[in-house]
Amino acid sequence: MKITGDTITFASGRTLYAHCGVIGIDDKLEISGGWDQGIEWPLEDWQRREGSPTNGDMAELADHMLELWTQFKNRLDK
């Protein structure tokens, strides 16, 4: 996965918009991109289009965020 500017590009080649590459999550497990843009997930069947993120893409995003938070936490231990 690669984040360049506002675009998250998954290993699958699919992309997701997130202003400045910022991803957030709340206590209801709803995710957002940027400061105030909700990211609909999971997608209903009628929302899926060619190029829509898949469960695998979102798992890749979750793994990326876990890695970032782990790096953040490890800096606190020093």
Residue range of the domain that includes 32:
2-76
What is the total count of domains within the chain?
A: 1
For 62, the enclosing helix (H) or strand (E) is helix 55-76
Burial class from Cβ neighbours inside 10 Å (0-12, 13-18, 19+) for residue 67 reads: exposed
The answer to whether 16 and 25 have CB atoms below 8 angstroms apart is no
Place of tokens 């957002």: 32
User: What DSSP assignment string belongs to 31-56?
Assistant: EEETTTEEE--SPPGGG--TT---HH
In this prediction, residue 3 carries a pLDDT of: 95
Regarding pTM above 0.85, the answer is no
Q: Which of 35-39, 58-62, 73-77 has the highest mean pLDDT?
A: 58-62
10-54 pLDDT tens trace = 999 999 999 999 999 999 988 988 877 777 766 667 667 776 789
pLDDT band at 68 (very low <50, low <70, confident <90, very high): very high
- Structure tokens that stand for 8 in this block: 């998250």
In this prediction, residue 47 carries a pLDDT of: 67
Query: Is the Cα dihedral 27, 37, 72, 76 positive or negative?
Result: negative
